[in-house]
Amino acid sequence: MVFKIKLHLLLVLSPFIFVPFNSNNSCNNYLSYLFISFSSDCYHNPDVNDNITNIIQRHTNSSETHHVQTQDGYILGLFRIRRDNPRGVILFQHPYNFDARIWVTQYNDSVAFLYWRAGYDVWLGNTRGSLYSKKHVTLKPSDSDFWDHSFHELAYYDLHATVEYVKKTTGGSKIIYVGYCMGAISGLIYASIKPEDASKSIQIMITLAPVISYQDAHGPLMTAIAILYKLQPLREYMGIYSVGRYDIWYLRLLRFFYLFFPFKKLLPYTISLFFGWTPDEMDPNYANLMVSHFGSEASLKVVDHGHQMHLDNRFQVYSYGNDHNMKVYGSPKPSLYSLEAIKLPVFIVCSYDDYISHYKDNERLFNSLPQEATIYGKLVVKGMNHFDYAYGKRRNEEVHNKVLQLLNSLCEDKSN
């Protein structure tokens, strides 16, 4: 009896016992993950179990870590892949529930390295609350006030502080801003509420998969967001103000389990269900890389803010309800972010197959911007979902090489 139980336990644990961390963890195709120890399509990728500074260092030898303090006391981590005499300076800002790792977890082919190799000084921002931005002068992440921010504060405080820091540290010339989903939304808000500051510091804003109203956004993620919104009183009663505390034990266990789970094709199917049906687009090489670096804590108020834009079909400030809005804003209706106020060029990149950043929403965004802001047009791609800008097989040919081409036409090569 005891022997039987032990045998079962051994069978259950066997993948964890017999697959040491320094063996193969990545494959060129999903099927090969079933034969990860024998297949010639598989290899060991050291980035899977490493941290961001080591990853950057391994591929570029140019890793720097910086910290920026916002006006309201948050201390944000900021990573730099340094290049002297660069063609230009680029600040990347990550999507919701992610952090700077999203730009460097495609092995040697990472998005950030592509731009760095093209001659740019690359900076990777981290919004408040995410893995590298958990410090505040007085608050702690366990305080509810620490999470009391919507897209608005990410723009007003975090972006302002980060953009100004990068500009100052690199010699005072205008920088290039690349925002992905939440990074794109807060970028647009920043350019709309601080148009003078933004146009003084940012040469061009590249928005990857932006959203302004979520009117056409659909899929189970939007349903989940609607349910979360309804549960707001319960969440607050239970003291839940953020999503993605990925250091909690069961999420760690789940991640650990998935890293050894051989049917990796489940990952692109799951992601496709939520973010756009393109299961063949996700690169199998990055399955474990993505999972081991997925998730960074973020405020639920940001999600609520997005859902309110969806409900009211307006690109507007966070709403506290009519009465409280009167107290906070002096008017019952939440005010609109004026896209007409934007004074810098915005280059929109979106996809027909993205459930969240819908191409129709992007059409409205394009048409709402002043003519001077849209001089470079926009780029609408096919067959890529909301995730594929980072982990899709064709992300470079469809998106990043084209963005680079535009940037190169604006920035002269200073390498020799």
Please report how close the Cβ of residue 44 comes to ligand NAG at its closest, in angstroms: 7
Query: Taking CB under 6 A as the rule, does residue 340 contact ligand NAG?
Result: no
What are the beta bridge partners of residue 106?
A: 108
C-alpha torsion angle, residues 386, 350, 213, 366 (rounded to 10): 170
DSSP string of 114-170, one letter each residue = HHHHTTEEEEE---TTSTT--EESS--TTSGGGG---HHHIIIIIIHHHHHHHHHHT
What's at 334, amino acid-wise? P
Query: Taking CB under 6 A as the rule, does residue 61 contact ligand NAG?
Result: yes
Packing angle, helices 300-312 and 220-230, rounded to 10: 100
Query: Taking CB under 6 A as the rule, does residue 247 contact ligand NAG?
Result: no
Task: By CB under 6 A, name the one of 59, 314, 358, 393 that touches ligand NAG.
Answer: 59
DSSP string of 66-99, one letter each residue = EEEE-TTSEEEEEEEE--SS-SEEEEEE--TT--
Query: Taking CB under 6 A as the rule, does residue 23 contact ligand NAG?
Result: yes
Q: Which lies closer to ligand NAG via its Cβ, residue 58 or residue 235?
A: 58
Task: By CB under 6 A, name the one of 2, 17, 37, 248 that touches ligand NAG.
Answer: 37
Please report how close the Cβ of residue 42 comes to ligand NAG at its closest, in angstroms: 5
CA angle 107, 402, 290 (to 5 degrees): 25
* Residue 260 to residue 263: CA distance in whole angstroms: 9
Please report how close the Cβ of residue 9 comes to ligand NAG at its closest, in angstroms: 24
Q: Which lies closer to ligand NAG via its Cβ, residue 21 or residue 250?
A: 21
Residue 160 near residue 116 (C-beta atoms within 8 A) = no
Q: What's the DSSP call for residue 359?
A: H
Query: Taking CB under 6 A as the rule, does residue 43 contact ligand NAG?
Result: yes
* Residue 212 to residue 236: CA distance in whole angstroms: 27
Query: Taking CB under 6 A as the rule, does residue 51 contact ligand NAG?
Result: yes
Query: Taking CB under 6 A as the rule, does residue 145 contact ligand NAG?
Result: no
Q: Which lies closer to ligand NAG via its Cβ, residue 51 or residue 338?
A: 51
In total, the chain counts a number of residues equal to 416
Give the binding-site size for ligand NAG (rule: CB under 6 A).
15
Pick the piece of the chain touching ligand NAG (CB under 6 A) from 1-9, 56-64, 133-141, 315-323: 56-64
Task: By CB under 6 A, name the one of 30, 33, 52, 179 that touches ligand NAG.
Answer: 52
Number of neighbouring beta carbons within 10 Å of residue 76: 24
* Residue 133 to residue 254: CA distance in whole angstroms: 24
Task: By CB under 6 A, name the one of 6, 8, 18, 54 that touches ligand NAG.
Answer: 54
Residue 57 near residue 110 (C-beta atoms within 8 A) = no
Strands (E), 167-321: 175-180, 202-208, 242-243, 298-299
Pick the piece of the chain touching ligand NAG (CB under 6 A) from 35-43, 211-219, 251-259, 326-334: 35-43
Query: Taking CB under 6 A as the rule, does residue 128 contact ligand NAG?
Result: no
Q: Which lies closer to ligand NAG via its Cβ, residue 39 or residue 313?
A: 39
Q: Which lies closer to ligand NAG via its Cβ, residue 14 or residue 51?
A: 51
Task: By CB under 6 A, name the one of 4, 40, 249, 327 that touches ligand NAG.
Answer: 40
Q: Which lies closer to ligand NAG via its Cβ, residue 53 or residue 232?
A: 53
Footprint on residues 85-124 left by ligand NAG (CB under 6 A): 108-109
Query: Taking CB under 6 A as the rule, does residue 49 contact ligand NAG?
Result: no
What are the beta bridge partners of residue 175?
A: 202
Q: Which residue is nearest to ligand NAG (CB)?
A: 23
Give the residues lining the site for ligand NAG (CB under 6 A). 23-24, 37, 40, 42-43, 51-54, 59-61, 108-109
